[in-house]
Structure 1
Amino acid sequence: MKKHISLLFLFVVLNLFSQSTITVLKTGERTPIPNATVSCKGKLLGKTNAQGILSFRTKCEKVDVKAAGFYEDEAVVDKVMELGLSKTDPKTQSIEGVIISDKSDPRALAILQKVNDNFKNNSPHSLDSYSFKSYEKISFDFDEDSIKQYNQYLSHRLDSLKLLPTQTQSVDKKKDSIESVNVMKLMTTSKLFLWERAAQYSYSEKYGEKINILDNRVAGLKEPVYEMMALRSNRNKIPKEIQEENRTLYRYFLTDSIDIEGRKNYVIRFRQADYKNPIQKRKFNGYIYVDADTYGLKKIESNSKKKSEGSITSTWKPIDNKWFLLKENFKIKMGATVFDGKKKDKNKKDDAEEKMKQKFGNYVFIMADYFDFKTSIEQNKKDFSGYSISVENSDGAILDQYRTDSLTDREKMTYAKIDSVGKKYNLDQKLNVVTGFLKGKIRVGNVDFDALEILKYNQYEGFRLGANAKLNERFNKYISPDAYVAYGFKDRAWKYGLGVDLKTTLAKTSFFRVEYYNDVDAAGRFNENLWNFKMKINNSGVDLNNDRFYHFEGFKVSYENDLSNTLTLRGSVKKDKEEAKFDYNYNNLGSSFENFATQLTLKYSPNSKSMMTPSGKLTYEQNYPEFYFNYEQGLKSLGGDFNFSSFDVLVQHSFKTKLGVTGARLYGGLVIGNAPIWHQFAINGLGNGENSLNFNFTSYLGFATMEGGKYYNDKFIGYYLTHRIPYYFSTFGKKISSFDMVYRGITGDMKNPEIHDFEFEKLNHFYQEIGLEANNFLGSPFNLGFFYRVGYYSTPMFKENFAIQLKLNFLGF
């Protein structure tokens, strides 16, 4: 008997805990709305009582709430929910003031400010150590409500096609037609994409963060997409909807407080600031629950302006008084599947509906569950060694151990069907082309082509067309030969080189390299050793108005090794024959010399995060500060014509304060001893030096108002400061714009300029320019900057001091 009572008690408890309770209130008045219907996918779950409360059970993630005389809304399912509905009558005064006002509620802003101020203390990173596991799933599919409609439409469409007379088609067109039908059929029972990942996150204040990918699987691919493994969420970061710099993009309203699991929470509703009319202003994009005791985030839901475009929901859980992310759900519309069709009769009322059925929205669905939380874990240095992310398994064999929700029939079919499609169409190779391009590579089978070498431009070569091919890990895991060839249309000369990398291990970056080269470069160009793809793109236009180039031919042997996740070393020895390609005479010794030199390069990125992949190290998160150092030593005793020592350093950092985001770049160089001008330092000017409008493209270390190829020093120090004004606003389309203030300066000297017999000037006073950049100018992917030269080198003429500069936004500061 006691056993039966215990089972009955357990059953009751489980049912109670599985229940959800929603309270529906009138927005502004905070009074209950009785008889409000709560439904899921058209199925009625119940109606609210006289107190506006309904308890129900459902497996749905969201429910729709409707009431007569009110705008309908939706709520994310949780144990305790509260929803405010706005009246449909525009003349109603019950929500005037705070709700109709186009200004945020000061009380809501004060709470959000405390969320930001306390975020670091509330973050798990403020603990000495912790660990937890995660299960994440990403899929690409129709919305669930559209699947049945799509199946019906496709069945009707295929039946109609069978009735059409057979047409004569070419082999290719017939093949395309068959493949098109196969893809349409595939989508009836299977998703188009499915990826699962299980991971363990460990953190130590002493050793940092380590992520172990316990297992993962991608439908249709033999190898995982390593770039996807680095996908980030709201874990350990402030959601963009409440970041201080984004406050102008939304309007926030404190509606009330509510108890969740015995803790008081403030409820803040928000909407986008660009809602224009009163009806829109009664609608909200989402809500924020803030814990009243700690001002930690409990939950945030953010919806698109159009309900069909998607939503993002994140939920946190307090553990040891720190707020850990517990669950996330993303639904983002990514285009639509459209079928061509013709109306049968324009006068028929259902023609519009029939036309709508020919377009089905495609969505990316992302879900993540975090569990098995532990604090004050044992901290062993070896557990945190290596790169930030390590991959233990990638075949999906043990995923079932970590799944927090079983796969649906549609998801199971995705693996079965998409795997066969991936094998048939070689999706691995095609996807590698896309991911390779993100790193500056164009992958074709066993060969990687350097995207930066395809087309260049400078004043000496004009347009430079080239191809740089390197055999990748598919050819051999340890040996990677490469070669390049290029042609300059202005100097009418070929350039070429050969090389080979010999890896010593596959666990990290560690390889020897031998190479031969015959090429040209700008005299005095700052070293770009170990720079990443974005930095090199940013600096690729530095010689657009510089024709001071030199030719070099020789051999180099080098070795590169990641001493740790954050420190990289490269050492090299080279023997070159060098010759000026402009009118130049060094110390009456001519313009052609022999050079034997060694070089040491160090890169230190203490906060950047990387992982090892079969194609090499992938830095998936570039964080600042970063330090770059080069030391070159010319040796006359080993066949060179000169003894000289050259040092250069680059330090860059970016940090955020209440005043906005500031980026800083400090760089400099020093040459000791005798060396030709190309071993000195060119002060990078981007201007054309002509009496016309100065328009140029940005560079990493260049000056918009300075004439190119004019200044050279044997010692210098420069800086680049940028500050993003914390005011963001919507522009054309869905782009968000802002403004950056920029200040650049440089100074230095040259000890014996007279030994360099060519036309140039040393820069021995401060050269300064200030500027203002408009980010995402007119909704484009470009930043448009306006710069003005000030200080010692300014001239009385406005046009000579002024420059306009264009920059790709994705390049960063």
Structure 2
Amino acid sequence: MKQLCVFFFFLTLSLQAQFQVNGIVKESTTNKPLPFATITTTDGINSISDVDGKFSIVTPIPFTAFDVSYIGFTKARITLEKNKNYYVVMLSQKTDDLNEVVVPDENPALAIIRKAIENKDNNNPQKKLYSFEFKSYNKLIVSANPDSIDGRIDSVFVQKSSGDQFSKIDSSEYKFKDIVRQQHLFQTEKVSQYQFANSTLKETILGTKMAGFKQPVYEIIAFNLQSFSIYDSRYELFETKYNSPIANDALKDYNYKLLDSLIIDGRNTYMIYFKNKKKRRASGLEGVLYIDQNNFAVAKAVMRIKGVLDISGIHNFKYIPSEKLWFPTDKTFKIVKGKNDDDIKILGGTIQFDGDVENDFKERKKTASDFTYLLSQTNNFEIQYNIPIQIKKSAVTIEIKDDAINKPEAFWDTYRKDSLDSRSKKTYQALDSISIKKRIESRLRFGRKIINGYLPIGKFDLDLRKLFSYNNYEGFRLGIGGTTNERFSKNFRVEGYTAYGTKDNDFKYNLGIAARVGKFTNSWIGVSYTDDLREIASTVFAIDKKPFKIYDPRPINISTFYNYVTWKTFIETKIIPKTESLWELSRTAVEPQFNYIFNLNGKLYPNYVMTTAMVSLRWNPFSDYMQTPTGRIEVEKRFPKFTFQYTQSLPKIWQNDFEFSKIDFKTEYEKKYLNGQKTSLLFEAGYSFGAIPLTHLYNTSPNNITKETIIQRITFSGKNSFETMFFNEFFSSQYAYFQFKHGFSRVTLFKKIKPSLVIVSRVAWGNLQNPEQHIGLDYKTLNKGYFESGIELNQIYKGLGLGGFYRYGPNQLSKFQDNIAVKISFVLNIGL
């Protein structure tokens, strides 16, 4: 009974909270929907229909009638009827057209858009103002309107001759419906200060709270839902970029139509409807721009994508007479389910949409989750223009203050536009309670560690990479290792490992300690000792974080290693903006574990000592970063990315035997397409000069074994390896390598078989100076180039796939079958 009373209490609040009218606008002669028709209530509240002609008016106070207008059609006034909340509005065409713009032989909307593009710099606050500053309040919820959920959703019916008859309540759907009557499914709030000066925009988060989390999930806070500026040439909606409808080249991508004229903030505006010219699904933006008739600035914008998800972003502006400028005042972002045949998870599954099954035989039953939506609303206030502003730590796009997660309720009451309603209050109470009960934060921490290859055990993170591996020299390599975590200390760490090879019967080990010397730059200084093995001539960028793999297939077939015993001291830091760097000073004793001698000026070196200084730096100039109380996060990964490494031997220091230098470079580029395809490019190059043994030159990552038949050579494919190149076939002292990959969208063959097709091409060139210095191995050089192409069919079943590669060009082998490599691929989908 108590639960029933609570249910009716919240239901009553919901009914009292809003007055809603829904409907659709259609053309009377063709019965086709009219997108973006203007709907105006008798109280002066404006709305527009969506791309399907549908509209919804929600107000706290009832109204008696509303007008519907559309350019070229006669305006209609609709009087509300008792107990009716859905209206089909039919508009009739009229012969006279809007006469505000007259351009002979041309669509008037094009003339207006051209003017808007021409005047962009004069109307863009980030171009016209030399500085501005404001605060904003944002609230994001994942919820569902319980009144929109059909009563049949939570009921199970049985089919009888007399028709469907009620059988029972579907407990899972009923529970969902009951929950959303009382609370939202997820909720966050934040208060930010935005500062703009010297062409730099920075967000400083003053306060943030997330239902269910004492410490928010910072990645969700940084999730970019929509562009800050409507004037960006590439408009971003839900972390996907589209050519803007007012980009300099927009007219080649969009069709435009003049819909109506409207008064906003006392100024006359044109309503311009735009739609991408491409016909294929999810091909681009569509929406409405409200263009000021005097200065051709954007006074309001509605941007929308309708496909897998129905995504909309609305930008509102206020006119500032003193600056003759429209400045953004608020924006709204919303996601609802669109046409789709796959489950979609957003924010780690917080919001999920079930797919439609589209066929002629059976229509999928609607579930309550079909009515789930995500809504984000932002309001700007305390706006100041052209004042002296000094932006601190400008290389960081978003900075979260250390005390942002501990703000009292009085802070939030100060900045909220409206006080929290009962559903929002209940959301914090309920989700905080659930989070504690189900240990969500500790499980999230555990999941993050596992994804990065560590198993947290108290104050120690066990490195899962060290447990087990296999190669032809060591056999099975069994080990244990890891590092202390933040529970041990935030300013000190101890790390290490030990491993044993069952084939070489030898132990390997490492031990290192480090201390943090800079919090904001995450700078550490440390020392370490290592006695281990490494593949000969392998290019290792020290700054690269080794990705976690359940298996690492390439070393399985490697037999040529060298033992190295290294003492080193290092500094790792992010002090240079948008970089990570590692600076090392090391002494290494090298002993090749294969038949090899280095001949330098007649002196033979079966083993040797190398004392070197090295700097390894990764630079992501186009990425955006967020500084949190726990560290720095790359929140907007943009390409290209660059990695540099320079190694210099130190003559006559710590028994160093050789004088040499090495310069290594890598750049990566990746482009993801809206339809799920992805193109990636990789370029690597290395240049070494001086006296360098073969162990420290370049082999360009071969991944093929020397066997007679194609079947015998089937192994697992590497990530960026030459699949047809045999181990130890080529060595270089200078090399260049280029790889092209293009992955197509996954194709559903059967319910659980959805392969993805990837085409791959690789090319390399290399040269070896002083080949007479290297004694013991037979090898070739790459001075004529090396070419390989192939096709991968990945994720055929449970992550497993198959690929085929072909070797051609100057280094093609005489037997046709020797140029072919068949590889097994494995892709682990961890839901990221």
Q: TM-score, normalised by structure 2?
A: 0.68
Counterparts of 1:696 and 1:112 in 2: how far apart (Å)?
57
Offset, 1:558: 1.0
**Which amino acid is the alignment partner of residue 215 of structure 1?**
G
Which structure has the higher relative contact order (CA within 8 Å, separation 6+)? 1
Name the structure 2 match of 1:202: 195
Q: Given the alignment, which residue of 608, 616, 619 partners 2:634? A: 619
The more displaced of 251-260 and 774-783 is 774-783
Name the structure 2 match of 1:347: none
Secondary structure at the counterpart of residue 384 of structure 1: coil
C-alpha contact 2:501 2:507 (8 A) present in aligned 1: yes
Structure 1 runs not aligned, ≥5 long: 1-17, 58-62, 71-83, 87-105, 155-176, 277-283, 338-351
Counterparts of 2:550 and 2:684 in 1: how far apart (Å)?
16
**Which amino acid is the alignment partner of residue 614 of structure 2?**
Q
Change (3 A) 1:810 1:684: same
- The answer to whether structure 1 residue 211 and structure 2 residue 200 are counterparts is no
C-alpha contact 2:590 2:608 (8 A) present in aligned 1: yes
**Which amino acid is the alignment partner of residue 389 of structure 1?**
E
Q: Given the alignment, which residue of 259, 266, 270 partners 1:264? A: 270
Counterparts of 2:559 and 2:114 in 1: how far apart (Å)?
53
Name the structure 2 match of 1:328: 332
Q: Given the alignment, which residue of 563, 570, 576 partners 2:582? A: 570
- The answer to whether structure 1 residue 793 and structure 2 residue 811 are counterparts is yes
C-alpha contact 1:38 1:47 (8 A) present in aligned 2: no
Identity %: 21
Counterparts of 1:736 and 1:402 in 2: how far apart (Å)?
48
Name the structure 2 match of 1:314: 314
Counterparts of 1:111 and 1:523 in 2: how far apart (Å)?
65
Q: Given the alignment, which residue of 573, 588, 594 partners 1:561? A: 573
Counterparts of 1:362 and 1:778 in 2: how far apart (Å)?
32
C-alpha contact 2:748 2:755 (8 A) present in aligned 1: no
Q: Please list the CA deviations of residues 1-33 of structure 1 after superposition, one character each: whole Å capped at 9, or x if unmatched.
A: xxxxxxxxxxxxxxxxx9999993418969999
Offset, 1:215: 0.8
**Which amino acid is the alignment partner of residue 585 of structure 2?**
V
Counterparts of 2:728 and 2:329 in 1: how far apart (Å)?
53
C-alpha contact 2:660 2:692 (8 A) present in aligned 1: no
Offset, 1:539: 12
Name the structure 2 match of 1:671: 688
Q: Given the alignment, which residue of 462, 471, 482 partners 1:469? A: 482
Name the structure 2 match of 1:395: 406
- The answer to whether structure 1 residue 67 and structure 2 residue 88 are counterparts is yes
Counterparts of 2:391 and 2:242 in 1: how far apart (Å)?
35
Name the structure 2 match of 1:688: 705
Counterparts of 2:112 and 2:671 in 1: how far apart (Å)?
20
C-alpha contact 2:134 2:194 (8 A) present in aligned 1: yes
C-alpha contact 2:24 2:87 (8 A) present in aligned 1: no
Secondary structure at the counterpart of residue 637 of structure 1: coil
Secondary structure at the counterpart of residue 678 of structure 1: helix
Counterparts of 1:420 and 1:665 in 2: how far apart (Å)?
47
Name the structure 1 match of 2:3: none
C-alpha contact 1:264 1:291 (8 A) present in aligned 2: yes
C-alpha contact 2:258 2:270 (8 A) present in aligned 1: no
C-alpha contact 1:136 1:198 (8 A) present in aligned 2: yes
Counterparts of 1:473 and 1:183 in 2: how far apart (Å)?
38
Change (3 A) 1:222 1:595: same
Counterparts of 2:506 and 2:79 in 1: how far apart (Å)?
78
Name the structure 2 match of 1:592: 607
Name the structure 1 match of 2:50: none
Counterparts of 1:382 and 1:560 in 2: how far apart (Å)?
23
C-alpha contact 1:24 1:85 (8 A) present in aligned 2: no
Q: Please list the CA deviations of residues 394-436 of structure 1 after superposition, one character each: whole Å capped at 9, or x if unmatched.
A: 2243333333343221111222233233334433221222344
Offset, 1:310: 5.4
**Which amino acid is the alignment partner of residue 783 of structure 2?**
H
Name the structure 2 match of 1:745: 763
Structure 2 runs not aligned, ≥5 long: 1-18, 40-52, 94-106, 157-170, 246-252, 338-343, 351-361
**Which amino acid is the alignment partner of residue 315 of structure 1?**
H
Secondary structure at the counterpart of residue 405 of structure 2: coil
Let me know the Cα RMSD of the aligned residues.
5.7
C-alpha contact 2:398 2:627 (8 A) present in aligned 1: no
Name the structure 1 match of 2:748: 732
Q: Please list the CA deviations of residues 772-802 of structure 1 after superposition, one character each: whole Å capped at 9, or x if unmatched.
A: 7679888998998765444321345554444
Offset, 1:516: 2.2
C-alpha contact 2:288 2:302 (8 A) present in aligned 1: yes
Name the structure 1 match of 2:738: 720
Counterparts of 2:118 and 2:296 in 1: how far apart (Å)?
11
Q: Please list the CA deviations of residues 311-365 of structure 1 after superposition, one character each: whole Å capped at 9, or x if unmatched.
A: 433335487778969413223566799xxxxxxxxxxxxxx9xx98986558452
Q: Please list the CA deviations of residues 743-800 of structure 1 after superposition, one character each: whole Å capped at 9, or x if unmatched.
A: 5332232222233223242424142436476798889989987654443213455544
**Which amino acid is the alignment partner of residue 270 of structure 2?**
K
What are the residue-to-residue correspondences of 1:267-306 with 2, within 5 Å? 267-268=273-274, 287-289=287-289, 291=291, 299-300=301-302, 302=304
**Which amino acid is the alignment partner of residue 764 of structure 2?**
I
Change (3 A) 1:382 1:524: same
C-alpha contact 2:191 2:415 (8 A) present in aligned 1: yes
Secondary structure at the counterpart of residue 683 of structure 1: coil
Name the structure 2 match of 1:638: 653
C-alpha contact 2:468 2:476 (8 A) present in aligned 1: yes
Counterparts of 2:746 and 2:779 in 1: how far apart (Å)?
46
Secondary structure at the counterpart of residue 431 of structure 2: helix
Q: Given the alignment, which residue of 629, 640, 643 partners 1:628? A: 643
Q: Given the alignment, which residue of 705, 724, 728 partners 1:709? A: 728
**Which amino acid is the alignment partner of residue 365 of structure 1?**
L
Offset, 1:441: 4.4
Counterparts of 2:494 and 2:475 in 1: how far apart (Å)?
29
**Which amino acid is the alignment partner of residue 704 of structure 1?**
E
C-alpha contact 1:470 1:481 (8 A) present in aligned 2: yes
Offset, 1:559: 1.3
Change (3 A) 1:39 1:573: closer
Counterparts of 1:722 and 1:117 in 2: how far apart (Å)?
38
Counterparts of 1:230 and 1:506 in 2: how far apart (Å)?
20
Counterparts of 1:67 and 1:361 in 2: how far apart (Å)?
24
C-alpha contact 1:151 1:188 (8 A) present in aligned 2: no
C-alpha contact 1:38 1:45 (8 A) present in aligned 2: no
Name the structure 2 match of 1:232: 224
Q: Given the alignment, which residue of 492, 501, 504 partners 2:517? A: 504
The more displaced of 547-556 and 120-129 is 120-129
C-alpha contact 2:468 2:478 (8 A) present in aligned 1: yes
C-alpha contact 1:743 1:768 (8 A) present in aligned 2: no
C-alpha contact 1:753 1:762 (8 A) present in aligned 2: no
Name the structure 1 match of 2:100: none
Change (3 A) 1:366 1:383: same
Counterparts of 2:25 and 2:643 in 1: how far apart (Å)?
58
Counterparts of 1:321 and 1:544 in 2: how far apart (Å)?
65
Change (3 A) 1:144 1:377: farther
Offset, 1:231: 0.8
Name the structure 1 match of 2:139: 137
